[in-house]
Amino acid sequence: MAIKKVNIDVKKKPTKKQTEMIKAAKNLPVTFDEDSPELTPDQLKRFRRISEEKNEDRRKGTVTLRLTPRALRKAKSLGKGYTSVLSRILEDALDDPQVIESHL
């Protein structure tokens, strides 16, 4: 079977044809080669452990945060998922000593 390359704009909803192609690809057999060999049981075990460690870093905690009305309006203007965006902004800011220093 020949490999077919299709560019999909991830910012847009897939077309009906693209959705059908994705569903059809699910039923194709996996073919291993020198570029992508089948993983050994040990490699799979190590991969799972790394994946679990990364998931722990992503686990979110719940906090109460008091924001000014202006900050809350701006945050909500980011749309659905704005709390996740705020989390990433806060994380980036806390990684930058200059930002922290300028707000103390």
**Residue 6: what pLDDT?**
75
Domain count, the chain: 1
pLDDT in tens, 47-98: 777 777 777 777 788 889 999 999 999 999 999 999 989 998 999 999 999 9
Range of the domain at 80: 16-56+67-102
Asked whether residue 52 is domain-assigned, the answer is: yes
Burial of 72 per CB tally in 10 Å (0-12, 13-18, 19+): middle
Asked whether residue 6 is domain-assigned, the answer is: no
Asked whether residue 9 is domain-assigned, the answer is: no
**Residue 102: what pLDDT?**
93
Lookup result for tokens 């979110």: 60
Asked whether residue 2 is domain-assigned, the answer is: no
Asked whether residue 1 is domain-assigned, the answer is: no
**Residue 93: what pLDDT?**
93
User: Is the pTM of the predicted complex or chain greater than 0.75?
Assistant: no
**C-beta separation of 94 from 100 below 8 A:** yes
**C-beta separation of 67 from 74 below 8 A:** no
Asked whether residue 8 is domain-assigned, the answer is: no
**Residue 44: what pLDDT?**
83
Asked whether residue 11 is domain-assigned, the answer is: no
